[in-house]
Amino acid sequence: MTSDDDPFHDCELDAEAILGTHTFEDVLFTDETETPVNVLTGETPAHSQATVEEAKEFAGSIDTETPQIALPASVESQVETQSKPYTAAAFFHFKATGSLERHRAYHAAYESDAFAVDFEADYESGDLTITVERADEA
């Protein structure tokens, strides 16, 4: 197989590393996601108040070919930029999958016709489950 035929030729991981079903626990935005609290009033600022439904709608509204998920934004970024407590990212983003190597491997599989890639975002638990199968076995 030449590098042109191998979707993983630029990846540190090969297909074997991501084949099957993998669950990444507590990586999604949930109702339990930490938000800043104003020390003077004891209240969460309006910009940091959000629901899972708002986060899912926001992630779904991003105009891209790659499905997006809602990840929690750090408390620091919420304070510094007065942003919402969530951000959108590709479903295989390294913040969700734990490493840039996995991010690249999932992206390669997703872009390749040789693989069927599916994911389930469970915003109740915060868990993201990604399943990768060879297309001829799916």
Residue 10 within any structural domain of the chain: no
Q: Flag the least confident range among 19-23, 37-41, 61-65, 69-73.
A: 37-41
**What is the residue range of 104's domain?**
15-134
Confidence class of residue 4 from pLDDT cuts 50, 70 and 90? low
Residues 18, 108: Cα–Cα separation, whole Å: 11
Distance of CA 16 to the CA centre of its chain: 21
Q: Kindly state whether residue 5 falls inside one of the protein's structural domains.
A: no
Residue 39 confidence class, pLDDT cut points 50, 70, 90: confident
In a domain, 87, yes or no: yes
**What pLDDT is recorded for position 87?**
95
With respect to residue 120, please indicate whether it lies within any of the assigned structural domains: yes
- Segment 61-112, tens digit of pLDDT: 999 999 999 999 999 999 999 999 999 999 999 999 999 999 999 999 999 9
Whether residue 4 lies inside any domain: the answer is no
Contacts of the segment 73-79: beta carbons below 8 A, 24+ positions apart: 75/34, 75/35, 75/36, 78/35, 78/36, 78/45, 78/47, 78/48, 79/36
Residue 8 is predicted with a pLDDT of: 95
At residue 1, the pLDDT reads: 47
Report the chain's mean pLDDT, rounded to a whole number.
93
Number of domains in the chain: 1
Residue 62 lies in a domain: yes
Give yes or no for residue 7 having a pLDDT over 80. yes
Tell me whether residue 56 is in a domain: yes
